[in-house]
Homo-oligomer: A and B are copies of this chain.
Amino acid sequence: MDFGLGERSLAGPANAAETGSDTRPSEANRASSARPRVVIVGGGFGGLAAALALARAPVDVLLIDAQNHHCFQPLLYQAATAALAPSDIAWPIRHILRGQANATVLMASVQAVDADQRMVSTSAGVFAFDFLILATGTTHSYFGHDAWEAFAPALKTIEDATAIRSRTLKAFERAEASDDPEERARLLTFAIIGGGPTGVELAGALAELARRTLPPEFRRSSPCRARILLLEAGPRLLPTFPKTLSEVARRALTRRGVEVLTETMVEDVSEGAIVAGGRRIDIGGPILWAAGVRSSPAGAWLGAPCDRSGGRTRVEPDLTAPGRPNIFVIGDAAAAGPDGGQAPGLAPAAKQMGKYVARVIRARLGDKPAPGPFRYRDEGSLATIGRNSALVKIGPVTLTGFPGWVFWSAAHIYFLIGARSRFFVALSWAWSYVSFQRGARLITRA
């Protein structure tokens, strides 16, 4: 297992001897590197699942990510609202794969993919592959209004979470420092744009911060008077959930003092204000963007067709890119299924795809029987509103309120990686539950 030196000085392709359409690595290349090489781009849920599922395959795995850590995105909103520390929900990728002898991890940015020559160009050099798995995930989309990003940050990375945490806590500090009641009210007006799970979870967590955690510590201002607006362009919150659960979410948030505005399209975002539903609203606190995502540039690297809505690469039933039987696109980067919408942009879908492509690769190498086309298996939907309140939909079963919240908590602890995280997150939650406190209320400078 040696990635690098050899490949980087290679002028020619990895499989120079191979010109046909056979998708198995040539004997020549196998002999030189001993085992076929699988390069995985992206250490999110999809890429990591693929790497782990290849642990016993007769391949060498190279996982490349621009970050050194895997981030557990379902709990990112808790890092953004000071409930958990960033290191509670992010772990070095190489630590997760430390016991897997056939896996090498490299922190580098991918710049280009040469699909014909089977080479990936990165900030740390060029690497040849026999199989490539693109698991590059999504970034936020402002639907053509990229200028809004400066005023309404989105929540995709650990850095986003700490920046949003600082902005949020600073708004309360500024209100405390102000003598002007109008200015205080302005500073304590928050807007969350987008009523999907991230928007709902952020709104619920902000409401708890303002109404429960902070009030005993402020002397001049009243954090509990904070106005928290949740704006959704569509007719209801959580559009992927059943209608009844959307209504439960709306009521639970309203009870917590969140102003839920559905059918309210945001028309403009600027410094300290938004225009929504035809009227201008002053927002002195943070404006948070939870409205849209778009796929990372995997499709562009391949020149492959993308779906219109999110830039996801349309893939074949075996998750390969069209005409590229050795290149897979998985997770949020892929539009799987005939209508491009079979698998939702969720962690379970990405994990299923990662495991599936590992099986396909093992089958190609004669190591396992070939699987049928990829089928997404719905593992259910979860969203939390806050203390004692979450929504769960698994098959025909729905849970809300306290039972939903217990299930949500247990499921998230279960899906965290490593005994340490499970133990520490569970303890943090237990402590917060008893004390109403949040353990990571730091304002840090960027």
Which residues in B have their C-beta under 8 angstroms from that of A159? 444-445
- Binary interface profile of A, 405-446, with partner B (CB < 8 Å = 1, else 0)? 000000000000000100110011001000101011111111
The answer to the question of A177 belonging to the interface, with a C-beta cut-off of 8 Å to chain B, is: yes
Q: Are A68 and B443 in contact (CB under 8 A)?
A: yes
The answer to the question of A94 belonging to the interface, with a C-beta cut-off of 8 Å to chain B, is: yes
- Binary interface profile of A, 147-161, with partner B (CB < 8 Å = 1, else 0)? 000000000001100
- The closest CB in chain B to the CB of A441 belongs to B92
Q: Are B217 and A441 in contact (CB under 8 A)?
A: no
- The closest CB in chain B to the CB of A162 belongs to B444
Q: Are B446 and A446 in contact (CB under 8 A)?
A: yes
Min C-beta distance of A280 to chain B, whole Å? 27
Q: Are A444 and B220 in contact (CB under 8 A)?
A: no
Min C-beta distance of A392 to chain B, whole Å? 29
The answer to the question of A69 belonging to the interface, with a C-beta cut-off of 8 Å to chain B, is: yes
- Binary interface profile of A, 30-71, with partner B (CB < 8 Å = 1, else 0)? 000000000000000000000000000000000000011100
Q: Are A220 and B3 in contact (CB under 8 A)?
A: yes
Tell me the bound Cα distance from A442 to B123 in angstroms: 20
Which residues in B have their C-beta under 8 angstroms from that of A88? 85
Q: Are B442 and A98 in contact (CB under 8 A)?
A: no
Main secondary structure of the interface of A (DSSP, over half): mixed
The answer to the question of A302 belonging to the interface, with a C-beta cut-off of 8 Å to chain B, is: no
Which of these, B94, B177, B420, contacts A218 with CB under 8 Å?
B94
Min C-beta distance of A192 to chain B, whole Å? 22
Min C-beta distance of A165 to chain B, whole Å? 10
A92-B441, A439-B420, A443-B67 given; A179·B5 CB < 8 A: yes
Which of these, B95, B124, B428, contacts A437 with CB under 8 Å?
B95
Which residues in B have their C-beta under 8 angstroms from that of A125? 177, 179
Q: Are B87 and A440 in contact (CB under 8 A)?
A: yes
- Binary interface profile of A, 2-32, with partner B (CB < 8 Å = 1, else 0)? 1111001000000000000000000000000
Min C-beta distance of A155 to chain B, whole Å? 15
Copies of this chain held together in the complex: 2
Q: Which of A3, A88, A442 has the most CB of B within 10 A?
A: A442
Which residues in B have their C-beta under 8 angstroms from that of A437? 95, 420
Q: Which of A67, A69, A162, A176 has the most CB of B within 10 A?
A: A176
The answer to the question of A216 belonging to the interface, with a C-beta cut-off of 8 Å to chain B, is: yes
Tell me the bound Cα distance from A444 to B85 in angstroms: 13
Stretch of A101-109, A193-201, A314-322, A334-342 at the chain-chain interface? A101-109
- Binary interface profile of A, 104-123, with partner B (CB < 8 Å = 1, else 0)? 11111000000000000001
Min C-beta distance of A283 to chain B, whole Å? 21
Q: Are B68 and A441 in contact (CB under 8 A)?
A: yes
- Binary interface profile of A, 261-295, with partner B (CB < 8 Å = 1, else 0)? 00000000000000000000000000000000000
The answer to the question of A169 belonging to the interface, with a C-beta cut-off of 8 Å to chain B, is: yes
Which of these, B179, B216, B443, contacts A8 with CB under 8 Å?
B179
Q: Are B4 and A220 in contact (CB under 8 A)?
A: yes
Q: Are B67 and A219 in contact (CB under 8 A)?
A: no
Tell me the bound Cα distance from A108 to B220 in angstroms: 14
Q: Are B446 and A216 in contact (CB under 8 A)?
A: no
The answer to the question of A307 belonging to the interface, with a C-beta cut-off of 8 Å to chain B, is: no
- The closest CB in chain B to the CB of A87 belongs to B440
The answer to the question of A86 belonging to the interface, with a C-beta cut-off of 8 Å to chain B, is: yes
Which residues in B have their C-beta under 8 angstroms from that of A173? 68, 107
- Binary interface profile of A, 197-224, with partner B (CB < 8 Å = 1, else 0)? 0000000000000000000111110000
Can you report 17 residue pairs joining A to B where beta carbons are below 8 Å apart? A68-B442, A85-B88, A87-B441, A91-B441, A92-B217, A97-B217, A98-B216, A104-B219, A104-B220, A105-B219, A106-B177, A107-B177, A123-B177, A162-B444, A420-B435, A424-B424, A424-B427
Known pairs A8-B179, A87-B442, A420-B435 / 5 extra A-B pairs, C-beta < 8 Å: A4-B220, A94-B217, A94-B218, A107-B176, A427-B427
